[in-house]
Structures are given as structure tokens and as C-alpha cells.
Amino acid sequence: MDSGKLVLAQLMDFVPRHDFDACVRRYDGNRRLRGFSCRDQFLCLAFAQLTYRESLRDIETCLRALEPKLYHAGFRGKVSRSTLADANRAHDWHIFADFAQVLIGRARKLYADEPLGVDLEQTAYALDSTTIDLCLSLFPWAHFRRRKAAVKLHTLLDLRGNIPCFVRISDGKTHDVTVLDHLPIEPGAFYVMDRGYVDFRRLHRFTTCSAFFVTRGKRGLDFTRRGRRRVDKTTGLRSDQTIVLAGPKTSRLYPDPLRRVVFYDAEHGRRFVFLTNNFTLPALSIARIYKCRWQVELFFKWIKQHLRIKSFYGTSDNAVKIQVWIAISVYVLVAIVKKELGVDRGLSEILQILSLTLFEKTPIFQALSESKSQETDPTSPNQLNLFDL
């Protein structure tokens, strides 16, 4: 029974301990143990994400106030601000990045049958980045502008379930398109990107790997039309063409044919030009797949509102990456709990409930389930009648 366990301990039961220990051993994470393990660090920073802690001092104060319960929650080391700061410097961020991938793989299996909003059997991903502004004097390694620092989160989002399956953290000056060099490409999958990722040498890699991309075409693109297909203009489509690039450089970088779909959004009065290397889907499906790209923007907005990734507990490159990866792990862990327990609540609601119940001895399903109001039975003998004379 879970009634005798703290909610935090029940939540950590969803974390595969064997896989976490394997990630720690892979990078010799507990070599500098000093009474504070990588698991203690993960618990502290996961607690900070779930309860919206502002600083290391804030984490230390709250956990020390709950010291009699820490052992039962899974903590084994003594929690202190200095020890946690040392761990953020010493423990390799790759430990938490690899473990996040373990959770991501588990979550993607749970959400594999989620509806996409488009009639598509293949996996669909959305690629984009978000910038987190930092103080240059505290983060001099995060180059961005002459008087400003920043880091970028390049994220590939699985559109079935909105699970981030690839995250690369770079300084603010890194151009978005360079992340395509590091992107793992899955044959048969669709990758949706905005026109900031249009680099025909890099896009040709998707074609050679038997994957598909959907992106927006830039203005002034030099091409030659090879064929066209009829479209229903009442749906907003304007044209569906097969083209080849005609520019002296672009034709060399991408020698294969491309598909050019033009769509007019009457509601907002905007015209969109899409480029793709897929020639089998209906033209309207190409436009709808690109519309799904907005999910990655909503993901960035959600994590910035509900997780601690806009301010950091440490100033080193390692500390920042540890915090970001643990924040992603918490997001994915909550998504796993929601699916495995069948909780009919949004992720933000689950986070709010967990922030208040982590150290209560309540079954986690009961804590997260919607409580039904109990109507008072008017015939109950325990109910006083105010009008009984």
C-alpha cells in the first residue's frame, strides 16, 4: 500500500533506479561522493522544480524544515547550500542528460497512439529553439551580444504527446540551423521546421536518410517548375508544384526535386509557401502538418511558466545544463505519471497539486484524482435541523 509512503517517494517510484545508477556509473558520478550522491542531487533539484524554489538557499531552508521526513523521501546525504553547489560543479551533466533520455523513451511509448490532428501514420517532430537571457557578468561563457549573455535550447518535439526527444543547449550566438548537423534522423519520420532552418545542404541529408521535412520557403527562391497538380482552392490551397532549384549554388547543394505548396490563410490574410521532399501526401496535409509546428512554441511557453529554467541555481556551464536536464526530466516524469495512472488533469494542474502534497502520506493517485463533492444526506441523523422546534 502507498498510504504509508510520502508522495515524493511514490513519485520517485516511477523513476527507474537501475537506469539512473547505470547513468551515474557511466560517467563515474559518485567518484567524489562526499556524502552527497547524484541521486541526492537529482532529488533536491527535482524538489526545487516541483515546488518553484528560487535559489540554493531557498532549497536548503525548505528541505531542512522537513528534515525528519527526508530519509523516508529518499534523501541520504545532508542537504546544504554549499554541498549542492559543489555537486552542480563536480557531477557531469551528461548523467542527467542520459537519464532524461531513459524517461523520454518510456514516455514516447506511452504516448505513441496519441492523436496528431493530421491523418499521418509516421512519427512527426517539430524543431525549434528558444533563447534564455542571462547576466553577462555571471555567465561570461554564454556569449550572445556585447553586453548580454544567453543560452539557447534547441528542441526536437515529438508531436504525439509533446515529448521533447532531443535537446541541445548552446550559447546564444549559435545559429539555429547548425543544430541540423547534430540531429538524429529517423527514416520515414517527418521533421517540421520554420524557414530559419532552410539550408539546402543540410536539408538534403533528410532525403539521403529517407526522412521527410516540411519547412517554409524563403522569398526570392530561384527554381524551375517541373510539374503541377490540381488543388481545391476552396480549402485555401493555391498551388502544388514539383520544382528543382535553379540557383548555381542551391542546385548543387540540393540536386533532387522538391515539392512547393502554396496555401492562403483567409482568416489571418497570410500566404504561406511550404517546401517538402514528400510527394505522396495530399497538399492540404502538408499545410496541416506545418500548422502542428506551433506545438513546440507552446512547449517552450509552458516550461518557462511552470519550471525553473529562466533563473539558475549555479553560474557554470555544467550547473546550467544539469538544471535544464532535470527540469526536462521532471516534465517527462509528470507526463509518465499522468498516463500510467490515467489522471484526467492537465500537466500544470498535476504540478500544482504535487507542489503542495510532496511530503504528505497520501496515495498519489488519490492526491491527483479529481475529488467528487459529497452531498449531505438530509435524512442523516447527524445533521442538525435548524428549524426543529
What are the pLDDT digits (tens) for 131-157?
999 999 999 999 898 889 999 999 999
User: pLDDT tens digit string along 101-127?
Assistant: 999 999 999 999 888 878 888 999 999
Q: Are residues 326 and 267 in the same domain?
A: no
Q: Are residues 256 and 330 in the same domain?
A: no
Instruction: Say how far apart CA 7 and CA 97 lie, in whole Å.
Output: 25
If asked whether residues 11 and 71 sit together in one domain, one would say yes
353, pLDDT greater than 90: yes
What pLDDT score was predicted for residue 31?
76
Q: What are phi and psi of 197, to 5 degrees?
A: -100, 10
- Kindly state whether residue 163 falls inside one of the protein's structural domains: no
CA separation for the pair 318, 324 (Å, rounded): 10
One domain for residues 251 and 206:
yes
Q: Which residue type does 46 have?
A: A
- β partners of residue 119: none
* 22 occurs within a structural domain: yes
Looking from the CA of 264 toward its CB, the CA atoms found within 13 Å total 11
One domain for residues 345 and 270 = no
Secondary structure of residue 273 in the 3-state scheme? strand
Tell whether 244 is covered by a domain. Answer: yes
Q: Report how far residue 38's alpha carbon sits from residue 102's, in angstroms, rounded to the nearest whole number.
A: 16
Cα 321 to chain centroid, rounded: 14
* Of 272, 285, 327, nearest in space to 130 by CA: 327
Can you tell me which residue has the cell 535550447? Answer: 153
* Residue 55: closest CA among 249, 328, 315, 260: 315
Do both 202 and 285 map to the same domain? yes
d(Cα 246, Cα 257) in Å, to the nearest integer?
11
How far is C-alpha 46 from the chain's CA centre? 15
378 pLDDT exceeds 50? no
Q: Which one-letter amino acid corresponds to residue 271?
A: R
Q: Do 277 and 235 fall within a single domain?
A: yes
Number of folded domains in the chain?
A: 2
Q: Enter the pTM of the model.
A: 0.89
For residue 3, what pLDDT band results from cuts at 50, 70 and 90?
Answer: low
User: Does a structural domain hold residue 159?
Assistant: no
Among 243, 262, 292, where does a domain finish? 292
Nine-digit cell string for 102: 531513459
- Does residue 282 sit in the same domain as residue 356? no
Structural domain contains residue 355 = yes
Percent pLDDT > 70 in the chain is: 93
Residues 200 and 283 in one domain: yes
Residues 302/73, Cβ–Cβ less than 8 Å? no
- Non-local (6+) Cβ contacts of 24 within 8 A are 30, 37, 38, 39, 95
Q: What is the DSSP letter of 180?
A: G
Place of cell 550547473: 319
CA atoms within 13 A on the CB side of 353: 22
Q: Report the DSSP pairing between strands 237-245 and 258-265.
A: antiparallel
Inside any domain, residue 119: no
Range of the domain at 286: 194-292
Pairing between strand 258-265 and 270-276?
antiparallel
- Residues linked to residue 227 through DSSP beta bridges, in sequence order: 242
Q: What is the pLDDT of residues 164-203, one digit of tens each?
A: 999 999 999 999 999 999 999 999 999 999 999 999 999 9
Report if residue 274 sits inside a domain: yes
**75 shares a domain with 42:** yes
Q: How confident is the model at residue 77 (pLDDT cuts 50, 70, 90)?
A: confident
Residue 371: what pLDDT?
A: 58
Tell me what the mean pLDDT of segment 80-99 comes to.
92
Distances (CA, A) of 98 to 22, 27, 92, 326, 342: 10, 10, 11, 11, 27
Q: Are residues 200 and 279 in the same domain?
A: yes
* Residue 318 sits in the same domain as residue 281: no
What are the cell numbers at 65? 524544515
Kind plus residue range of the DSSP H or E element containing 126:
strand 124-134
Reported confidence tier of residue 34, pLDDT bands at 50, 70, 90: low
CB 293 within 8 Å of CB 192:
yes
The verdict on residue 16 lying in a domain is yes
Long-range contacts of 173-180 (CB under 8 A, 24+ apart): 173/143, 173/144, 176/128, 176/129, 176/152, 177/202, 179/127, 179/129, 179/154, 180/205
Chain segment 323-332, per-residue pLDDT in tens: 999 999 999 9
| Residues 103, 332 contacting (CB under 8 angstroms) | yes
